[in-house]
């Protein structure tokens, strides 16, 4: 991001972009694009799906900024758009067919293989791969809550806003996701 836009707050960029300022919108894309891509990538299967999803999100944001009231932060609003777009893509997959089936046993076997592979140059790299596999076992809402809280650092209130639920429900989603991840990654302790 260029130095001129780097210090400009999100709400100012949003107002400028709502008025048609393409440079301000580019600043929003540069500032929030990597986080949104990371979030979409963890919800969807494959980088192409995630990139298409984020492109849809920014198109929706460009169109929606003139009516963005600022009830939540721009960041929260963008994550909400990302969740809607990703979940819409997940719903479009038929119940059987192109939707990837993830057998728990296979994931657990792959996790063990990562742990026991002596050729891995970095335990941290293997652990990251194991976590990515374990995240696939979580239902989309739990995965989204976990990613937004633990990876993106959103507050419970912001996660609740993105998911369209209460902070109490977010706490429940996080508790279930953490329990599943702890059980799945037990060999890594």
Domain ranges of the chain: 3-92, 104-188
User: Is 162 within 8 Å of 71 (Cβ atoms)?
Assistant: no
Question: Cα 1 to the chain's mean position, in Å?
Answer: 22
DSSP 8-state assignment for residue 67: G
Class of the 104-188 domain?
mainly alpha
Does domain 3-92 correspond to CATH entry 1.10.1740.10? yes
User: Is 132 within 8 Å of 38 (Cβ atoms)?
Assistant: no
Residue 1 exposure: Cα atoms within 13 Å on the Cβ side: 19
**DSSP secondary structure string for all residues of 74-113:** HHHHHHHHHHHHHHHHHHHS-SSSSSPP--HHHHHHHHHH
Question: Tens-digit pLDDT profile for the chain (189 aa)?
Answer: 565 667 899 999 999 999 999 999 999 999 999 999 999 988 887 788 899 999 999 999 999 999 998 888 999 999 999 999 999 888 875 544 444 555 555 555 655 555 555 554 466 677 777 888 888 888 889 999 999 999 999 999 999 999 999 999 999 999 999 999 988 888 766
User: Is 148 within 8 Å of 135 (Cβ atoms)?
Assistant: no
* Distance between first and last Cα of the chain: 39
- The contacts of residue 173 (CB under 8 Å, 6+ apart) are 141, 142, 145, 146, 163
Closest CA to 68 of 24, 7, 3, 34: 24
Q: Which ranges of the chain would DSSP assign to H, the alpha helix?
A: 3-6, 10-18, 22-43, 47-64, 74-92, 104-116, 123-135, 140-146, 156-163, 167-184
Separation CA 33–CA 35 (nearest Å): 6
pLDDT of residue 61: 96
């Amino acid at each position: 991001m260029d130095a001129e836009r780097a210090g400009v707050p999100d709400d100012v960029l949003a107002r400028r972009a709502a008025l048609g300022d393409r440079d301000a919108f580019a600043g929003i894309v540069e500032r929030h694009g990597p986080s949104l891509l990371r979030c979409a990538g963890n919800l969807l299967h494959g980088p192409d799906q995630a990139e298409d999803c984020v492109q849809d999100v920014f198109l929706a944001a460009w169109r929606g900024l003139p009516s963005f009231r600022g009830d939540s932060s721009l960041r929260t609003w963008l994550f909400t758009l990302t969740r809607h777009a990703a979940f819409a893509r997940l719903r479009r997959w038929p119940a059987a067919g192109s939707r990837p089936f993830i057998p728990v046993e296979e994931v657990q076997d792959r996790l063990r293989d990562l742990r026991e592979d002596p050729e891995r140059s970095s335990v941290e790299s293997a652990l990251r791969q194991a976590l990515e596999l374990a995240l696939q076992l979580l239902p989309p809402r739990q995965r989204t809550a976990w990613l937004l809280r633990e990876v993106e650092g959103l507050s419970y209130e912001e996660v609740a806003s993105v998911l369209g639920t209460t902070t109490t429900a977010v706490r429940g989603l996080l508790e279930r996701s953490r329990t599943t991840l702890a059980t799945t990654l037990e060999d890594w302790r």
